[in-house]
Amino acid sequence: MSPTADPSTVLVVNAGSSSLKFALVDAGSGERVLSGLAERLGTAEASLRTSGHDGTHEAPLDGSDHTAAVAAIIEAIGRLDPALQPVGVGHRVVHGGERFADSVLITDEVIEALEEFAPLAPLHNPPGLLGIRAVTATWPQMPQVAVFDTAFHQSMPPRAYRYAVPEDWYAERGVRRYGFHGTSHRYVSGRAAELLGRDPADLALVVAHLGNGCSATAVLGGRSVDTTMGLTPLEGLVMGTRSGDIDPGVFGYLDDAYGLSAHAVTTALNKESGLLGLSGLSNDMRELWQARNAGHPGATLAIDVFVYRLAKSLAALVVALGRLDALVFTGGIGEHDEDVRAMTVSALGFLGLRLDPVRNADHGAGSAGRIGTGEGPEILVVPTDEELMIAVDTIRLTRPDASEE
């Protein structure tokens, strides 16, 4: 029997330059029917690891590129259930420029646009295109959807997204603030409204997505009105290996002092800075806490700078809202590091934020995400689910009648 499309199941793909992460998601329940990772693509050691109802499996790929990875994923789905076929494939795409304010069905015109945006996200968009082309080559009739990290932030007003630079930089080259992690911020702000029992249209939230990459967003009435990342994911908060905000004069200074090119400085700011650069030890917050507790000065400095810059940015985002109804933490650090949350909220006490230490230690698990005392603005921990958000968008665009069922 040939497989038929399951009306609620979506294959979610997040392609990197040498890896491809995937999840077969039931968009109704959020269940991961099958998930896995193809890694070391482009080498003789390329392999695919899957995890599903039939257990965990790992095997070398018959071929080493993204197309071979997609073919192996299709085979894994068939082994799990020969009658199962997703209704579509949803791709995480980092940069959609100004053109895309929502997720879209992928067409030849969309692919051309993504190629145009590649210079704005050279580390992310080209791998995303590899994933799209691999699915096209393997499943030519399968509908595909692009879900953009930047789309949620297209509601920002010009005062928030424009840089104070020559007009032609913006008009001709698109030099402006785009923001990222939009899929996470959109999901988490919506989920926070559900947990609070409030209409998103009536809420003023600051959402802090804290992981190896970090950003914070002011969400007013369900729409992004300001965010910390900019033209690229390098701007804003201190991150695992990224510097966040830095004086652009550093480029000329390091060129004069060491002969470093703009490319070399940008690479160092992306890959050798942040928590790693400050500590000289690690970009992993868990390791830094262990080292800080053992008296490591670099780890102590890294955490102090991370929290200070985070608190300062969160306070600044309240300006875009005019008030604060809730502060929401998400991402690996935001969801699991009670000490970072405690230090951050302590620094923001002037906003009326009050943390409940017991709820905070429990990460809000027993209190519907709430970790505040109930006085002043709410404080929540909300686990993010970008894959589910991508799956929901894919259903919406491939099955426009689904909302009527």
| DSSP character string of 276-315 | HHHHSS-S-HHHHHHHHHTT-HHHHHHHHHHHHHHHHHHH
**CATH classification at residue 142:** 3.30.420.40
Confidence of residue 121 (pLDDT cuts 50, 70, 90): confident
* 130 lies in the same domain as 246: no
**Helices 125-138 and 66-80, axial angle in degrees (round to 10):** 50
Residue type, 357: P
Do residues 283 and 144 both lie within one domain? no
Number of domains the chain contains = 2
Residue ending a domain, choose from 87, 117, 148: 148
Active-site annotation holder among 6, 65, 149, 339: 149
Residues 138 and 211 in one domain: no
Q: Which of 289, 279, 253, 92 is nearest to 186 (CA)?
A: 92
Which of 114, 129, 148 is at the close of a domain?
148
Tokens of 193: 């409204």
Supply the pLDDT for residue 117. 83
Q: Where in the sequence is the domain holding 78, given as residue range(s)?
A: 4-148
Mean pLDDT over each residue of the chain, to the nearest integer: 94
Q: Is residue 226 part of a domain?
A: yes
In a domain, residue 396? The reply is no
Does 131 lie in the same domain as 218?
A: no
Pair (348, 206) in one structural domain: yes
The residue count of the chain comes to 405
Average the pLDDT over 227-235 and give the result.
95
Q: Is residue 338 part of a domain?
A: yes
With b meaning 16 or more CB within 10 Å and e meaning fewer, what string describes 385-397? bbbbbbbbbbbeb
Same-domain status, 294 and 353: yes
Do 69 and 128 sit in the same domain of this protein? yes
> Does residue 401 carry a catalytic annotation?
no
Output the CA angle 401-27-212, nearest 5 degrees: 130
275 in the same domain as 346: yes
Supply the pLDDT for residue 1: 39
| Residue 192 located in a structural domain | no
Q: What is the pLDDT of residues 272-310, one digit of tens each?
A: 999 999 999 999 999 999 999 999 999 999 999 999 999
**Residues 307 and 378 placed together within one structural domain of the fold:** yes
In a domain, 223, yes or no: yes
Residue 404 in this model has a pLDDT that exceeds 50: no
| Largest pairwise CA distance in the chain | 69
232 and 130 within one domain = no
| Residue reference for tokens 């650090």 | 333
The per-residue pLDDT for range 340-394, each reduced to its tens digit, is 999 999 999 999 999 999 999 999 999 999 999 999 999 999 999 999 999 999 9
Does 170 fall in a domain? Answer: no
pLDDT at 3: 64
Question: In this structure, is residue 49 part of a structural domain?
Answer: yes
Residues 251 and 139 in one domain: no
pLDDT value at residue 399: 83
pLDDT for 2 beyond 60:
no
Please check whether residues 10 and 84 belong to one and the same domain: yes
215-230 confidence digits (pLDDT tens): 999 999 999 999 999 9
* 21-26, long-range: CB < 8 A, 24+ apart: 22/73, 23/387, 24/52, 24/77, 24/86, 25/387, 25/388, 25/390, 25/391, 26/391
CA distances from 259 to 253, 256, 263, 265 (A): 9, 6, 11, 10
pLDDT at 125 over 90: no
Across 8-12, 127-131, 323-327, least confident range: 127-131
* Lookup: tokens for 15: 């392609």
pLDDT of 405 over the 70 cut: no
